[in-house]
Every structure is written in C-alpha cells, then in structure tokens.
Structure 1
Amino acid sequence: MLAAETLPVRHGDGDAFDIRRFDSVATVLRCPDGHEHLLLSDGVHHLQMEVTAGSLLDGPVRFRYELSGFKHIEAKTLTLRRLMLLHRLGRFPSGLYPPERRARRWAMALQAYDAVQAGATHREIAVALFGEKVVKEDWCSRSDYLRLRVQRLVRTADKLVNGGHRDLLR
C-alpha cells in the first residue's frame, strides 16, 4: 500500500490535496496508532493509501510519499499515478483501471453456484449461461466441452465460496 506523511499547506498551493474536494468518494479511517487509511472509491474504481504522520482531516496537505526498495514498487507507483490523475482531473482515470480479465468467469461461476444451490442440473445451468441453442447443439455432441465447462465453473464457485474469494484480493 502506498504510504505518505502529510504536511500542512496554504489553500492556494498547487500541490495541495484537500480531502473536502473528494468528499463524495473519500473515507478516512483513523487507527489507534495515529495512522489514517484513505479510501477513495466511486464504487467501481478504488484507490487506497496510508497516512503515517499528520492528518488528512486538518485541511489541505502536501504528501511526502514513502517509496523505497523494489518489492511492491509497481503497485505503489500505479497508486501514485492514479492519485495524481484523480487530483488533476477530478475523476478516476479509467485508463489506469483495466478490466479484470477473469471477472466474467467469476460471475458465471457464482451464477452456477446459485443454480446448484437452487437444485438445477448441470444441463439447466448450461442453458442459463450459454443459451438453449448452444446446449441443444453441443450438450450431447462428440465433445464433452460444454459439460466440462459447467463442471469447472461449479468447482471454481465452490473454491470461491469456501474461502478462495480472499485470493481475489491479492
């Protein structure tokens, strides 16, 4: 996680970050150790950082970023780029938030899980996910690809529901 200290600045300072400018997307959590965690989120895009000294809540601040070493530097610099463009544009830079490639598969897996919980057969799940036409043509064909695909989705869903969802956050 990107960490920074905050330093007080005057209102006209071009490098000032004023949390009030981002009221609609900002959440600040104060920890017992005095650190603050900042979450900026519009529900789709997220940016999180830790304030290790000073406070975002005391008015406009200047950040002094804590970057060192090579471990996790790419994630930290990406967060820094996102913060810079959010500050400049006043909105989250969509170009720096590429869509998650596996999101569609995860959604299908969870749909399959819900269907299994409701008592649906694998064939019924295939119809719901891929359509009646595809299932009519391919369910009993020489290849078992469609059956196997549904089975993999159900296995993926079982893993997600039984703790695997935590791996998505890494």
Structure 2
Amino acid sequence: MNCSVNSKAGRDDDHAASCSFAAYDGGDWAWEFLRRNDDYISDWRSSIPRHLPCIMLNDGTKLLRLRRRFLQAEKWGLYAFADPRLCAHETTAFWHAKALKRVVRLNARKPDQGEASVRRLADFNAERHAVIGVDGVPLVVMKRNGVRIPLEIHGLSVLTAAFTPVYELHDLDDLTAQTELLRRLQRLTDADLRVVQKPSFAADERLQQALIALDESLKGKTYRQIAIAIFGEKKVTEEWHSHSQFLRDRTRRLVAKGTALMKGGYLDLLA
C-alpha cells in the first residue's frame, strides 16, 4: 500500500479513501493528522538524519535505539521524526512517553528459581514496537486489533530476557484507567486473537470523515465538493439546500475538526 502525504511534498487525490483504517488505534489516527501538518513536514525535511534504522529482535520486537535526543521531534510529541510521506501502515511513529496520556509502568525484577509469574515480551501476543531513549528506559508499545498499550519498563537491560514484573501505581485517582490498561495487557497473553477486541470507538467514523475533509480542504475544494467526497453526490444533491442546512454545518465542523487535529489536537488522541 502506498499512501503519499497530502501536502506540498506530494499529493494523492484518493489518499484518505485508499487507506484502511479498520485496525487504527489512537496513535495511528494521531499520526495521520500530524503528518499533514506543513510545519511538521518542514521540520522533518531539515532534520538530520531524516530516517533512523530500526532493528528486529529475535522475538519479533521492532526496536529503535536513540543515542541522542531529537528536540525538534519531541516538540511534536515524538522521540524521533517519522516520514510524513508514509501512512501508519507503512511507518512507525514512536510517540514520546511524555506525550502519552496513560502508560503502564513496571519494574523488571530478576526472576527467582521456580517463580510462576515470569514473563518475556514474547509472551504478549501482539505487534511490539520499542524505543530506548538516552535515559536507557525502554518504552514498549503493544498493538493488537486496534488496541494500543504503552509499557515503560525499568530494570530490563536486555529486552528479550525473562523478568518478573512489578507494576507501579503512582496516583489512586487514575486507578480505574490503570486497571483497565492492565486488563488489556493481560488479554494480550492469550493466544486467541479474538480475546482482544477493539474498544468501542465511535469516533472512528468521525475521524475518518474529518481526515477526508482536511485533505479536500488542503486541496482548495469548496464545502460542497468536500461534502460530496464524504457523503456522496446523491445525498449532497438531495440535502445541500435543505432548510436545516444540517449537511452544510456538518461539513464545516468536519473541516474545522480536521484542521484542529492537524494543528495540535492530534495529541488528544494518544492513549
């Protein structure tokens, strides 16, 4: 799949419609809006290097190890720049731990002999992306069926090693949210992929519509043309001049929503 960014860097008329958003999580949606931001694209173009190589560990974990900080990328909520010409299916946006709303934090203790609660990252039946910043603390993102769980691990010098997890809780006010994250993490150890179901995210359709509205707006299309791209010509022909002006107002709101998400609101989509 080739999803070229809709920007001055190069445009694809069927860009948003050609991408499959079915398995997108909040981080994927955030990347789709950020990569359309011309200021981000400009910063990426001036970054050195533009691309940082990842390595694949023998357990299937994709690892990015950073020898220095990339402050310009951190400004956008990332550890390092990702290529804005590529959609979320084609590249990995390594979101900075400070930009994430909720992170599971654990201390990896060396297992005692015969201990039952020993884990390895390979025990989690999920796509795993890890980044190790200059602080040496791995942030591992587990992804499966549109569910994303960021895991910050202290005390694990070798990511493929066995460890006994000791989970941290820093704030009782966030107990409910942290408990739900831990439940989702536990489900990832089940071999049955159906156990992990994508949470009800009614905003998915609205986000897709806002993305299309943003793309069409960036091309200079009128509201009516944007509405046709989203809702179809038949519906627009029938309802565009209705007394309620519902479709017009909805199209304006979608353009405004897409623009706001591109200009910084994408951070609110991060888990």
Structure 2 length as normaliser, TM-score?
Answer: 0.54
Confirm or deny: 8 A CA contact 2:111 2:162 kept in the other structure.
Answer: yes
Q: Does 1:160 align with 2:261?
A: yes
Provide the rounded CA distance (Å) in 2 between the counterparts of 1:115 and 1:52: 45
Q: CA deviation at 1:91?
A: 4.3
Q: In structure 2, which of residues 217, 221, 245 is the aligned counterpart of residue 144 of structure 1?
A: 245
Confirm or deny: 8 A CA contact 1:122 1:147 kept in the other structure.
Answer: yes
Provide the rounded CA distance (Å) in 2 between the counterparts of 1:125 and 1:31: 42
Q: Which residue does the alignment assign to 2:19?
A: none
Q: CA deviation at 1:85?
A: 1.6
Q: CA deviation at 1:150?
A: 0.9
Q: Which has the higher strand share?
A: 1
Structure 1 residues not aligned, in runs of 5+: none
Q: Does 1:47 align with 2:153?
A: no
Q: CA deviation at 1:42?
A: 3.9
Q: CA RMSD in A?
A: 2.7
Q: In structure 2, which of residues 221, 224, 228 is the aligned counterpart of residue 127 of structure 1?
A: 228
Confirm or deny: 8 A CA contact 1:45 1:92 kept in the other structure.
Answer: no
Q: Spell out, residue by residue over 1:105-127, the C-alpha distance to the aligned partner (whole angstroms, 9 max, x if none).
A: 12111211211222322112222
Confirm or deny: 8 A CA contact 2:125 2:188 kept in the other structure.
Answer: no
Provide the rounded CA distance (Å) in 1 between the counterparts of 2:196 and 2:186: 13
Q: In structure 1, which of residues 107, 113, 120 is the aligned counterpart of residue 208 of structure 2?
A: 107
Greater CA deviation, 125-134 or 36-45? Answer: 36-45
Higher-RCO chain (CA-CA 8 Å, sequence separation at least 6): 2
Greater CA deviation, 9-18 or 156-165? Answer: 9-18
Equivalent pairs, count? 169
Greater CA deviation, 106-115 or 84-93? Answer: 84-93
Confirm or deny: 8 A CA contact 1:30 1:36 kept in the other structure.
Answer: yes
Provide the rounded CA distance (Å) in 2 between the counterparts of 1:41 and 1:86: 9
Compared with structure 1, are the counterparts of its residues 127 and 31 closer, same or farther at alpha carbon in structure 2 (3 Å cutoff)? closer
Structure 2 residues not aligned, in runs of 5+: 1-102
Provide the rounded CA distance (Å) in 2 between the counterparts of 1:140 and 1:24: 49
Greater CA deviation, 23-32 or 66-75? Answer: 23-32
Confirm or deny: 8 A CA contact 1:82 1:92 kept in the other structure.
Answer: no
Give the 5 Å matches for 1:15-94: 15-22=117-124, 25-42=127-144, 44-55=146-157, 57=159, 59-89=161-191, 91=193, 93-94=195-196
Provide the rounded CA distance (Å) in 1 between the counterparts of 2:194 and 2:107: 22
Provide the rounded CA distance (Å) in 2 between the counterparts of 1:91 and 1:63: 23
Q: Spell out, residue by residue over 1:65-104, the C-alpha distance to the aligned partner (whole angstroms, 9 max, x if none).
A: 1124413222221121112121233647434x31322121
Q: Which has the higher helix share?
A: 1
Q: Which residue does the alignment assign to 2:270?
A: 169
Compared with structure 1, are the counterparts of its residues 144 and 56 closer, same or farther at alpha carbon in structure 2 (3 Å cutoff)? same
Provide the rounded CA distance (Å) in 1 between the counterparts of 2:231 and 2:125: 42
Confirm or deny: 8 A CA contact 1:39 1:46 kept in the other structure.
Answer: yes
Compared with structure 1, are the counterparts of its residues 117 and 29 closer, same or farther at alpha carbon in structure 2 (3 Å cutoff)? closer
